Every structure is written in C-alpha cells, then in structure tokens.
Amino acid sequence: MPTSPAIPVRPKPRRKRRRILLIFALLITALAGYFLYSFLAAGWELDAALAETDRLDPGWRMLTPHVPLPDANNSALQILAVDKRLGGFAWWKRWPEGPDALFRNLSPQAPLPNKTEAALRAALLADLVAVKEARKLKDMPAGVFPAPKGPPPYLSFHFEGEWARVVFLLYGDALLRLTDENADAALESCLAYGHAVLAVKGDPAPVCYILRWGRSREWCRAIEWVLAHGEASTERLQPLQALLQRQIEGPSLEEMVRALRFDVHHMMEAFAEGRVDAAELSLFGDNSLGKLEIGIADTIRGSVKSSHAALIRHYTRLVEAMKLPEEERQQALAAIESARQDLPRLAQALALRPGNLLLQDQGMRAYLASTHVGLAAERFRLERGHWPETLAALVDSKHLAKVPLDPYDGKTLRWKKLADGVMVYSVGPDGNDDGGQLDRTDQNRAGMDIGMQLWNPDARRRNN
C-alpha cells in the first residue's frame, strides 16, 4: 500500500516570535553596551586630557583674578558713566564699520571732509560735559568692568556697546582737536583712547582680545594721523609711548590661548548640563555646524565628552606651541592646523584655527611696535632737531630701551629715510620687505608692509 509523503511540521508561530524577540533583544543589548562603553571611554578620555593639561599647566583652570580698583580710579566705571550721560550716542551709527571709517580712504595728511567734520563737531558740541568726562580717562591707566549678573557670558562682552561708544567719542574728539590745530590736546584724547582699550579684559577672554586687537589698530592709525598734521610736545608724546610699550608687553598670544581653553572647557561643561545649546555653542567657533548637526548635538549632549577631550588637547597643544621659538612655533602650528581636520565634528567647529589667531596677533603687534618706535623718533627729532640715522641711535639716546623685533620674521623693525620724513615698518604677513609700501585699509594684502610714517614739519598739513 503506497504511503503518502510526510507533511513537514511547521514551527509554531509562538516559537518563531520568541526567536525574533531574542535576536532583537541581543541587538539592543549589543547597541546599549556599545553606547555605554563609548560613553565611559569618552569620560576616561576627557579625564586623561584634563590630567595631561594639569601636568603641563598647573592652575590653568583658575585664571588670574583682577586686582580691585578704587571706583575713582577705575577707567571702566568712568566709561560706563560717560555712556550713561551720552544716552545712546546715536550719531555714531552713521559709521557702523567703526571709527576708522571716518578717514579710511584718506591719506594721513588729508583733512577731514567738510561734511564729516561738521557732523562730528555738531555731535560733540551737543554734550561737551560727556566729552570732558571722557577725556579724564587720560589719567586713568587701569580699569575693571563689573561682573555681569547671570551666567558667564561665553559669546559676547557684556559692556561692548557702552565701551565702543565712548571709544568712538574719544576718536572723534582727537580728530576735531587736530583739525583745530591742537596736536597736544589731540594726543591727550589718544591717550584716553588707549586707556579705554586696555580696560577691556576678563570674560569672555576671546571676545575681549579680539576687541582690543581691532581698536589697537585704529588707535595707532589715529596717532599717525595726528603727527601727520601737526607737532606735539615731548610732554604729550612720552606718556603715550609708555602706554604703547605697556600694550606691547601686555597679554601674549600664549595667555590668550590659555584663556580660550579656559572658556571652551567651561562652555562644554555648560553644554553638557543643558545651560548652553548647540546653536549658541556653534557661534563660538567657525559657525559651520548645520541645523541637523546642531539638532543631533542637542539630542546627545550627554555623550560629547570625546569632543570636549579633543578640544582640551587641541588648545593645550596650542599653548605649548606658543612657548616655542618663532621657527619651531610655525612648524608646530602647521601640524596642529593639519590635525584639526581629524577632530570630531563638534570639536572641529569650536577649535579656532591657529593661523588666524597668529595672523591677528602679529598684525596688532606690528602696528603697536611701529607706532611705539615712531613716537620715540619724533621725540628724538624734537630734542635734537633732526631724525635719527638708525633705530640703534634711539637706544643710545635712551628714547628706546631696545629696538622691537618684527613679529613676522623675528628681525628688528625696518627704518627708512624719505625725502619728506622717515618710516618705521614691519615686513607684514607676506614676510617680504617691500620697502615700506603701506596699505592702511588692508594690512594683509600681498606686497604690503605694516608701519608708521612721520613727516618733516614743513610737510605736515598744519604748515601747508
């Protein structure tokens, strides 16, 4: 009798579901284990980065506190009081690009255009008391702004608006006093301007440094403009030269990078705790995070310790590079710039480019050093009746303690005698000596140097 073929027994649906659930559970467990390990490993990585930084730079987590100042001697409080009197100083918005826009396209010896002079004069005459109070800053060499209420300001300087308005007021006052052929009074306003610039320090350190960089360049150009139009007394030149020396010897690029690391560390802690979101965080760096990346970062903010660790290592390498001699430092910075491309995406957006930092710092120091030497040369001429033949002569005559070095190539600044005066200059960002070719509107243009020109008395506008 033929047998019928065996019918395969199908597994029961319940058993199949159990297998699927088991596989799914194993996958979930594996993923959870992976993420747990990644989270723990990121924490270990951050601990190791912080320990290494503590070893190389003990005390880096606590920046030097500001020395308290009596209110009567505090230039920062004077700035706030002047701005309060100004009530907004709305006319300065005519030049939103800053004070330098007043004569950006003018040669140093050119007078202010009539319309600009009239606008400045009308604005300053509207509140002569504010101008008088602002000029008192010339006798206030130190300042500390009060700490703002609330959480630490990571992305902006709380008093930037007040400070900028008073700086602009002093800038305009210096130009008008020079137009009225009072070079001594103009330099007093320049001295007050310099003290206002030095008052900007503290938190957030990166923003404060950048503000000082920009205003220092404008400050140096204003001094050159004053001496292109008239002659000032040695009594007015000497304190201004001393202030420039103080600015040159001020916070170094190494100190700035230390401050950057301090701020980034605390900002990443605030981000992990939910006190700062990723959109705010991205504004600190190169602002290259897309909306999707910002959303993901906000979602997994608890697992960004690897980015935190990478940032600590990045800025610590920068700090150590700043301690090296010029040639070695350039090589170290190039290596750090290359390694930046391999950082985690969030860290890469917040790791400022070392080349950009160095370029801005070199530009500021080139302007400060050139102007410092220029004032020494002007004092020499006033006392001796002629220009020095070399920069070494300024050291011999005690007008300089030493000849400053060019921040771009490490050699001494250049000195050039002209038919109508002299020039002191740095080779500029391209590293080439272009014979003193100056572009006062674009210091980074190829084929240009950075410096200060001084004219013979009969070539200055006052005597034209």
DSSP 73: G
- Looking at the structure, tell me whether residues 267 and 416 fall in a common domain: no
Measure the CA–CA gap between 283 and 299, rounded to whole angstroms.
18
Share of the chain above pLDDT 90, in %: 19
DSSP bridge partners of 416? 423
pLDDT at residue number 390: 93
Mean pLDDT along residues 162-187: 87
pLDDT at residue number 203: 57
Q: Would you say residue 84 has pLDDT above 50?
A: yes
Confirm whether 348 is domain-assigned.
yes
- Looking at the structure, tell me whether residues 88 and 207 fall in a common domain: yes
Confirm whether 226 is domain-assigned.
yes
Where do we find the tokens 């006319």?
Answer: 91
pLDDT at residue number 460: 82
Among 190, 171, 173, residue whose Cα is nearest residue 232: 190
pLDDT at residue number 135: 92
Supply 148's token pair.
């703002």
- Looking at the structure, tell me whether residues 397 and 462 fall in a common domain: yes
pLDDT at residue number 272: 79
What average pLDDT is seen over the chain? 79
- Looking at the structure, tell me whether residues 343 and 408 fall in a common domain: no
Confirm whether 103 is domain-assigned.
yes
Where do we find the tokens 């070695």?
Answer: 328
Q: Would you say residue 102 has pLDDT above 60?
A: yes
Measure the CA–CA gap between 194 and 246, rounded to whole angstroms.
10
Burial of 248: CB neighbours in 10 Å, binned 0-12, 13-18, 19+: middle
Measure the CA–CA gap between 433 and 448, rounded to whole angstroms.
8
Q: Would you say residue 125 has pLDDT above 90?
A: no
Q: Would you say residue 415 has pLDDT above 60?
A: yes
Burial of 305: CB neighbours in 10 Å, binned 0-12, 13-18, 19+: buried
pLDDT at residue number 384: 92
pLDDT at residue number 303: 58
Mean pLDDT along residues 81-86: 86
Confirm whether 291 is domain-assigned.
yes
DSSP bridge partners of 233? none
- Looking at the structure, tell me whether residues 162 and 183 fall in a common domain: yes
**pLDDT tens-digit series, residues 185-211:** 999 999 999 999 888 876 556 677 777
Measure the CA–CA gap between 35 and 22, rounded to whole angstroms.
20
Q: Would you say residue 107 has pLDDT above 50?
A: yes
**pLDDT tens-digit series, residues 299-358:** 555 557 888 888 899 989 988 988 887 778 878 888 988 888 888 877 877 787 777 777
- Looking at the structure, tell me whether residues 76 and 171 fall in a common domain: yes
**Residue-by-residue DSSP string for 395-441:** HHTTS-SSPPBPTTTSSBPEEEEETTEEEEEE--TT----SS-B-TT
Range of the domain at 308: 255-352
Q: Would you say residue 148 has pLDDT above 60?
A: yes
Measure the CA–CA gap between 359 and 102, rounded to whole angstroms.
25
How far apart are the two ends of the chain, measured CA to CA in Å?
134
**Comparing 59-68, 230-239, 246-255, 445-454, which segment has the lowest mean pLDDT?**
59-68
**Which H or E element spans position 452?**
strand 450-455
How many distinct structural domains can be found in the chain?
3
Residue 75 and residue 141 in contact, taking contact as beta carbons nearer than 8 Å? yes
Confirm whether 429 is domain-assigned.
yes
Sheet holding 450-455, edge to edge: 414-418, 421-426, 450-455
Confirm whether 193 is domain-assigned.
yes
**Comparing 51-55, 411-415, 430-434, 440-444, which segment has the lowest mean pLDDT?**
440-444
Confirm whether 36 is domain-assigned.
no
Confirm whether 128 is domain-assigned.
yes
Residue 417 and residue 436 in contact, taking contact as beta carbons nearer than 8 Å? no
* C-alpha gyration radius of the chain: 29
Last residue in a domain, options 194, 226, 251: 251
With a CB cutoff of 8 Å and minimum separation 6, the contacts of 22 are none
Quickly state the pLDDT bin for 464 (edges 50, 70, 90): very low
CA 445 to chain centre: 20
- Looking at the structure, tell me whether residues 158 and 186 fall in a common domain: yes
Last residue in a domain, options 201, 220, 251: 251
- Looking at the structure, tell me whether residues 316 and 444 fall in a common domain: no
Looking at per-residue pLDDT, the higher value among 330 and 183 belongs to 183
Supply 256's token pair.
């700035």
Measure the CA–CA gap between 86 and 80, rounded to whole angstroms.
10
pLDDT at residue number 298: 44
Measure the CA–CA gap between 317 and 333, rounded to whole angstroms.
9
Supply 280's token pair.
């705010």
With a CB cutoff of 8 Å and minimum separation 6, the contacts of 420 are 455, 456, 459
- Looking at the structure, tell me whether residues 232 and 277 fall in a common domain: no
Residue 185 and residue 177 in contact, taking contact as beta carbons nearer than 8 Å? yes
- Looking at the structure, tell me whether residues 95 and 207 fall in a common domain: yes
